[in-house]
Amino acid sequence: MVNDGAPDIEVVAQVLGGDGEAFGVLIRRYEPGLLRFATRMLGNPDAAADAVAESLVRAYRHLAQCRDPGRLRSWLYRITGNRCRSHLARRHTNDISLSDVPPLALADGSDTWAVLERGEQVALVERALAALPAEKREAFVLKHVEGMSYEEMATVTGARIPTLKMRVHRAREALLVALEEVVR
């Protein structure tokens, strides 16, 4: 029985050794981030849940193909990113329809006005993000939501670091413009 704090490399070895239940440790570890990433990419929590579930099952099936289990996180994000891209391609557009962006996500809080204000801000940023082309959205989310370095982003996306920097810079420009419009 592998414990929840075991390093990825040990958990992967345990799963490959035939202990399928140990895969649950990896799900608990990476599911929240993957769902967050997929939701921001697809703009729809149900589609994101499908993409992440399919990605995790695919990861389990091909775990032996993970050449560097020490960098499992990047590998899982790569599979999920591919899944999201396929999903977007099936819609014949890289962009999220604004109707897919979830309605105001009310945070916990006692001050209703503060909650509404925050909800409006979230909706605004989500809409600005949704208006970006998929590859810029992906670069922005990996950098600023998942907190990855450009090196890890390159592993996840297969794109070169200067290309990723350019995508992130362009995404920031669009978001800052959207934010300034609200301030005015």
Partner 1 sequence: MSPVDPRLQEALDGERDPGDLPADLREAYTRFIAAAKLLTATPRISVASRVMAEVRQEAAAAHRGNVARRLVRWLGQPVTVRLRPVWTLALAAGLAAVLLVPWGPNSGPTPGVAQGIANFVGHFPGARSVEVVGSFNDWSRGMLHLSDNDGDGIWHAEAVLPAGPHEYMFVVDGERWVPDPLAGRYVDDGFGAGQQNSLLIVRPVSAQP
> Among 24, 100, 104, 163, which residue interacts with partner 1 (rule: CB under 8 A)?
24
Half-sphere exposure of 106 (CA within 13 A, CB side): 9
Question: What gap in Å lies between CA 108 and CA 44, rounded to an integer?
Answer: 21
Question: Counting contacts by CB under 8 A, is residue 64 touching partner 1?
Answer: yes
- Footprint (CB under 8 A) of partner 1, residues 37-56: 39-40, 45, 48-49, 52-53, 56
Nearer to partner 1, 6 or 159 (CB): 159
Question: What gap in Å lies between CA 58 and CA 52, rounded to an integer?
Answer: 10
Q: What is the CA radius of gyration of the chain?
A: 18
Structure tokens at 184: 């005015």
Q: Please say whether the beta carbons of 25 and 11 come within 8 A.
A: yes
Residues interacting with partner 1, by CB under 8 A?
18, 20-21, 23-24, 27-28, 31-33, 35-36, 39-40, 45, 48-49, 52-53, 56-57, 60-62, 64-65, 67, 75, 78-79, 81-82, 85, 105, 107, 118, 121-122, 125-126, 129, 141, 144-145, 150, 155-158, 165, 168-170, 172-177, 179, 183
